[in-house]
Each structure stands twice: as structure tokens, then as C-alpha cells.
Amino acid sequence: MRNAPITRNATRITLTGPDLANFVAGAPDQRVKLFVPREGRPAPRLALEGQTWREAWERIPEADRPHQRTFTVRAHRSEPVEIDIDFALHSPGGPASRWARSARVGDPIDLLGPTAERNGGYSFEPPSGRHLLLVGDQAALPAIGSIVESLPADARGDVFVEVTTAADRQDLVTPPGVRVRWLYPDDDGHTKCRLLSAVQGTDLPADRGYAWIAGEAGRVRALRRHLVHERGMDRRSIAFMGYWRVGHTEDTAHARVPERQLAQ
């Protein structure tokens, strides 16, 4: 494991281990599950043994049961076998943020990921030749970074990313025809309409476009409604994911919106 700061509010943790040799990413926004140890408790192994991951997780005594969180794989390498996962360092932070701040070489953590390409744990599937629109907040930045750096040289599109401060900008390698614009909170800290306003002010080819939207669930819904009802974009050309909800952790949001289980 390596723990390397990216910006003031983000760090990149590189995971390694023999089991990762079987990992297969179906798309650049591939999602995986991490089982984050409880603060001050050992990291129990998730023993599947013919069970689903949720059954195995629920069998762990509650006092030791790790927090389950969904992350995007920022990068995956086969030689050596490594997976990069970016963590936002919130203050005060939740379990994943606290773990990432203190993670060191040798610290164990369980990861559940796919071993087949068609695994359902991704959303980015644009038809070739489409104008791309990528929109997301800081939680979506790892996926956006992975997507833009996977694009062919002739790709064209617009990318909007909302981050907490200018110091949270990251250097993304993009094709010449892909423009990245960074958005920040107003002086009073409000960002409610910033992404929507930016998209509303952008010319988009509704009949030849493909949109990928991720971030806070309420804002994602508002952006999708705008693209469908006001811009005439085909619903089938919009991939959208609510990565988080205001006032909820992944544990409480899960009870409301079932997640698609990754292939084991």
C-alpha cells in the first residue's frame, strides 16, 4: 500500500495483493466495494465461502463489522498488480476519510471487485463519435479523471467539475477536443445551482450527445431533467449516478436506493 497526497483535500491510496491479479475493469468508471475497518478495531476478513458479500458482512459481529463504501477505481495496473483509489479528506470526516488519513504500508483492507468485464459496476458506455458531456462534483472527480484519460485522441466534449476550493483542482490529461472547467462555491459557500447553471449556458448537440452525470443525488436528478426536458436529449444517451445524498451516509442511503451488486 502507498498513501500519496493529491491535493489538500484528497489522497491516493495504492492497493496491492495477489488477489488483485483477477480484477477486471469493465469501463473507466468501474466501481468497487471497500470494507473500511472501524476506528480502533482490527480489520476482519470478509470470508465469502459460498455466501454473497452482504451475507458474509452481516455475519461479522457488529462491533467489528467494517463500514462498506463504494469507490471508483482511479487506475489499475497489471505489472505490478496495483489499484489506485482516491479518497476525499473531509473535515470532520467519515470512516473512509479517517482511515485514509492514517493508512500506512502494510495496513489491510478488503476490496470486492469484478472478475469479468460485463459486471454491472460501471456506467460509462458512450457510442463512438458522440459529443461527450461529463458533469460531477468532488465525489465524482476520480471517475471523471479516469474517463477523460481513457478517451481517444479525437474525442470531443465538455467537462464540468465542482470542487471545494481552487486547491482541489487536479491535473487531468485530456484530448485536445475535450475542455475541462472547474467550478467553486460562492463566497457564502453555496454551490446548489453552479453545475446546473454551467450546463445551461453550454451549447450541446442534443441529437449527437452523450452525458455522464454523477454526484449528489438531488443535483444529478436536476441535471438529468434539464437535459431531457429542456435540451431534448434522449434519455438513453444519459448515464446518471447519485454517488451520495445530503444528510445520508452510504449505510443510510442504501436502505432507500438498492445498489447493483458487483460480480464476485
> What are the tens digits of pLDDT across the range 96-112?
999 999 999 989 999 99
- pLDDT in the model for residue 192: 58
What value does the mean pLDDT of the chain take?
Answer: 88
Residue 256 has pLDDT above 70, yes or no: no
Nearest to 24 by CA among 117, 143, 149, 142: 117
How do residues 79-91 score in pLDDT, each as one tens digit? 899 999 999 988 7
* Domains (range + CATH), the chain: 2-118 (2.40.30.10), 131-244 (3.40.50.80)
Sequence-distant (6+) residues with CB within 8 A of 227 are 133, 199, 204, 211, 233, 238
What cell does 46 get? 470478509
Q: What is the pLDDT of residue 124?
A: 97
For 29-46, what is the mean pLDDT? 90
Phi, psi of 37 (to 5 degrees): -60, 145
CA distance 160 to 111: 30
Assess whether pLDDT exceeds 90 at residue 135.
yes
Confidence band for 264, pLDDT divided at 50, 70 and 90? very low
Kindly tell me if the per-residue pLDDT of 161 is higher than 80: yes
